[in-house]
Amino acid sequence: MKSIYNFGNIVWVNLPKSDNHLQHGIRKALIVSNNKNNENSPNLHIIPLTTKSKRFVLHLHRNNARDFYCIEQLMLIPKEYVMLDRSYEYFDDSQLKDIYNLIDVQIGRKTISDIRRSV
């Protein structure tokens, strides 16, 4: 059986209100940590999703959905935040390059102008 904690799964999480991140409450999130980490670590790297478009440069509209990936809020969470009683979805990997590029901007490896030049 495939693990819910796989790279590319979109899971439901319950993020507590915190000074460390803006997104909180029950919402969808994309798992972006690799499967080896996901097997062995008690934590996951996720990108929270929102349904509110704020036209941020690091928000990416999710194909065929009303959600936006909040790339600027890439975060590490304990697996306990994942709601195992809820269904999960598989990631549409047609947006994988865009997500990787925006993660690179978020962590400082690229700039927005680097991405725009490569398009």
Sign of CA dihedral 107, 77, 82, 40: positive
Write the pLDDT tens digit of every residue in 48-71: 999 988 888 899 999 888 899 999
CA atoms of 32 and 30, how far apart (whole Å): 6
Q: Which domains are delineated in the chain?
A: 9-91 (2.30.30)
Q: Which residues of the chain are under the pLDDT cut of 50?
A: 1
Tokens standing for residue 114: 């680097």
Instruction: Determine the pLDDT at residue 20.
Output: 65
Mode of pairing for the β-strands spanning 43-50 and 25-31: antiparallel
pTM for this entry: 0.89
